[in-house]
Chains A and B, each alone.
Chain A
Amino acid sequence: MKIIYKFRKKIWSFFRFIIIFVTGFVVIYPIIYMISCAFRDKNDMNNPTVVWIPMHFTLEIIKETLRAMDFGNTLKNTLFLCIGCSILQVFSCSVTGYGFARFNFRGKNFLFAVVIMMILVPPQVISLPLYTEFIRFGIDRFFTVNLLDSMLTMYLPAMTANGIKSGLMILIFRQYFSELPKELENSAYIDGSGALRTFLLIIIPNAKSIFLTAFLFSFVFYWNDYYMSSVFFTDTKTIAIVLANLENELKMNLFSGTAVQISPREMIVWNEAGCLIAVAPVAVMYIFLQKYFTDGIEHSGIVS
Chain B
Amino acid sequence: MEFAGVEKYIKVLTEDEKYTEYLEKTLFETLWKTPVIIIFSLFISVILNQKFRGRTLARTVFFLPVIISTGYAYRIINGDLQSSENANISQFSTMMSVDFMGEFLEFSGIYGISQNAEKMLSEMADNIFGIIWNSGIQILIFLSALQGIPKSAREVAEIEGATAWEYFWKVTFPYISPFILANIIFTVIDTFTNPTNQIMERIADMRSGWAFGEASAMSWIYFILIMSAVGFVTIIFRRNSGGENNL
Contact = CB atoms under 8 A, between A and B. Distances in A.
Interface of A: 13, 16, 19-20, 23-24, 26-31, 33-34, 37, 45, 48, 51-52, 112, 116-117, 119-120, 122, 168, 171-172, 175-176, 178-180, 207, 209-210, 212-213, 216-217, 220-221, 223-224, 226, 240, 243-244, 246, 264-265, 268, 271-272, 274-275, 278-279, 282-283, 286-287, 290-291, 293-299
A298 B150 contact: yes
A296 B52 contact: no
Contacts, number: 190
Interface centre among B63, B78, B154 (most CB of A within 10 A): B63
Given A116-B230, A168-B186, A272-B76, A294 B67 contact: no
A243 B74 CA distance: 11
- Chain B at the A interface: SS class: helix
Given A122-B193, A209-B147, A283-B60, A179 B178 contact: yes
Interface of B: 43-44, 47, 49-52, 56, 58-68, 70-73, 76-78, 80-81, 83-84, 86-89, 92, 128-129, 132-133, 137, 140-141, 143-152, 154, 175, 178-179, 181-182, 185-186, 189, 193, 223, 226-227, 230, 245-247
Nearest to A226: B72
A223 B150 CA distance: 33
Contacts of A226: 71-72
Contacts of B80: 33, 37, 268, 271-272
A210 B70 contact: no
Contact of B71 (A28, A240, A268): A240
Contacts of A176: 144-145, 148, 178-179
B56 to A, nearest CB: 6
Contact of B182 (A172, A209, A212, A298): A172
A290 B59 contact: yes
A298 B178 contact: no
17 contacts: A13-B52, A16-B52, A26-B133, A27-B65, A27-B132, A30-B77, A51-B86, A120-B189, A176-B144, A217-B140, A223-B67, A268-B80, A279-B68, A282-B67, A290-B56, A297-B151, A298-B152
